[in-house]
Amino acid sequence: MAGWNELLDQLHELADLGAATAILDWDQQTKMPPKGAEARAHQLATLQGIHHERLTSAALRDALEGAETAGDGPAPFRGEAGQALLRETRRIVERGSKLPVPFVKELASASSRAFERWQRARAESRFIIFRDDLARLVDLKRREARYVGYREHPYDALLDEFEPGQTATATAAVFQEIRGPIVALLRAIQASPRQPRREILTQHFPSDNQWAFGLEVLSTMGFDFEAGRQDTSAHPFTTGFSPGDVRVTTRVYENELPVALFGTIHEGGHALYEQGFAPELMRTPLANSPSLGMHESQSRLWENVIGRSSAFWRYWYPRLSARFPEQLSRIPEEDFVLAINHVRPSFIRVEADEVTYNLHIILRFELEVALLEGSLEVDALPEVWNAKMDELFGIVPERDADGVLQDVHWSYGSFGYFPTYTLGTLYSTQLWMALKRVFPDFEDRIARGDVLFIREWLRENIHRHGSTFVAQELLQRVTGEGLNPTHFLGYLRQKFSALYQLVW
């Protein structure tokens, strides 16, 4: 037990350092005046440096070995939870210490330079400005994969950081299974005579009222405002410092209703996860989701599966149009529901709908894998990007800013991150199937405005466990099966056939 106390002390301090860093980061993105940026960069770097030092220290390794030798920990870390804590600690310690310090520094400076170049390249829509930095990052990422180690593909080592246990081969197989059917569904929707009136959503919607409506939805979802708050930021995000303090952000566009509305519901899904970790896991690596995909399954379940469903708006549309009578009182509910489910090929991933979004991810995944294994040269990237756009969407961007330069991820050196969005989407529809089995009146309850039971079920089955179980194991426990993309395809066909009156 002695080993355990030492380990827990060190893990608590590491978690505190992580939370302090996260608070500074939240503040930077929401409240900090522009002139604070320089000092803030130092403050963040100092805290991150201390965190990394401690994570890779001999003292932590010794404490970990001590606890491993001792076996069972003190409550609540007896049995399963104790083994899980040792597993997670070992995973992050090993990943952290496999990368030599000079390499970590080189990667950090290459990324910060690449980020600045990327911003300029995107503003001017000239790939050539970003080309050398991107090539350097790809090279560094290959080195990182070698340091970390992998069995089959260098991509596995990178994907594993975000989606532990998931491999390139398994991901490619799943993506291959959904690629063709999504393209076929997109073509069928495009051919449908029934098309949404998108202008319903681009009327003027004053921001105060949008904000108030968003808060009403958030609190109905079960977001605890005593344990969190919502603010605005340029890019919406969720961050949690403990289950008792979870921050969400959104942005409000007065002429684009869905941005704040669905942004709020999406981040709300992430936030319920963070508020739902069992209190006894606090200040340990288990107070975390087991993977980014699992976290994203929560936001996508709330935003798309629930928030964009006809059932949801049966309750909420009268309330929304009461807030915006001038804009919506003459618009029938079904026209509104069709408008928020407008499916069309588009260039920009973050603006994409539920059907085409995953094609954007598949495109990026295929390119990342090819870059990492060396079968694709950085020079050929814009051209190959556009060819894949044509193949999947039937459209080709005229400017690189609308194509290969649109996303920030690669400039940060984040390779292996994109697939987690689609994995999360697939998990979300598997959870939806499970919910419908447990609650046969699932849709009726949503249509009556009752969604709290969903939060309760998710909290009991997913949130409270944190990362006690790895993602695939958790999915298996909750849904009775592993990753299975057929549920997502079934969900899409059912939903969009009804909305667009498709005949198959």
Taking the C-alpha atoms of residue 358 and residue 175, their distance in angstroms, rounded to an integer, is 9
The owner of tokens 């440096």 is 49
Classify residue 502 by burial, with Cβ atoms within 10 Å: 0-12, 13-18, 19+: middle
3-state secondary structure 102-141: HHHHHHHHHHHHHHHHHHHHHHHCCHHHHHHHHHHHHHHH
The least distance separating Zn ion from the CB of residue 296, rounded to whole angstroms, comes to 5
The least distance separating Zn ion from the CB of residue 299, rounded to whole angstroms, comes to 4
Q: Give CA separation, 63 vs 2, 4, 10, 58, 93, in Å.
A: 9, 7, 8, 9, 12
The least distance separating Zn ion from the CB of residue 295, rounded to whole angstroms, comes to 7
Q: Which residue's CB is nearer to Zn ion, number 299 or number 358? A: 299
Q: Which residue's CB is nearer to Zn ion, number 55 or number 221? A: 221
The owner of tokens 């400017």 is 399
Q: Which residue's CB is nearer to Zn ion, number 3 or number 276? A: 276
Element of type H or E holding 241? strand 238-242
The least distance separating Zn ion from the CB of residue 93, rounded to whole angstroms, comes to 27
The least distance separating Zn ion from the CB of residue 123, rounded to whole angstroms, comes to 26
The least distance separating Zn ion from the CB of residue 164, rounded to whole angstroms, comes to 18
Enumerate residues 6+ apart whose C-beta is below 8 A from 430.
475, 479, 481, 483, 484, 487, 488
Q: Give CA separation, 15 vs 10, 94, 161, 232, 278, in Å.
A: 9, 17, 18, 26, 15
Residues within the interface to Zn ion (CB under 5 A): 299
Active-site residue, from 88, 163, 267, 366: 267
What's the CA dihedral at 124, 130, 131, 135 to 10 degrees? -160
Nearest to 182 by CA among 360, 367, 375: 360
Q: Which residue's CB is nearer to Zn ion, number 134 or number 271? A: 271
Does the annotation count 94 as an active-site position?
Answer: no
What's the CA dihedral at 166, 167, 173, 175 to 10 degrees? 60
Q: Are 405 and 121 in contact (CB under 8 A)?
A: yes
Nearest to 300 by CA among 278, 323, 267: 267
What strand order describes the sheet that includes 228-232?
A: 228-232, 245-250, 238-242
Joined together, the tokens standing for residue 434 give 């499970």
Taking the C-alpha atoms of residue 262 and residue 53, their distance in angstroms, rounded to an integer, is 40
Nearest to 244 by CA among 211, 281, 212: 281
Joined together, the tokens standing for residue 328 give 């919506």
Q: Which residue's CB is nearer to Zn ion, number 266 or number 495? A: 266
Nearest to 354 by CA among 299, 409, 398, 316: 299
The least distance separating Zn ion from the CB of residue 238, rounded to whole angstroms, comes to 8
The DSSP string of 345-379 is --S-GGG--TTTHHHHHHHHHHHHHHHHHTSS-GG
Q: What is the DSSP-derived secondary structure letter of residue 303?
A: I
Q: Which residue's CB is nearer to Zn ion, number 322 or number 350? A: 350
The least distance separating Zn ion from the CB of residue 405, rounded to whole angstroms, comes to 22
Q: Which residue's CB is nearer to Zn ion, number 56 or number 299? A: 299
Give the nearest residue (CB) to Zn ion. 299
Q: Which residue's CB is nearer to Zn ion, number 83 or number 232? A: 232
Q: Which residue's CB is nearer to Zn ion, number 277 or number 324? A: 277
The least distance separating Zn ion from the CB of residue 410, rounded to whole angstroms, comes to 18
Task: Report the catalytic residues.
Answer: 267
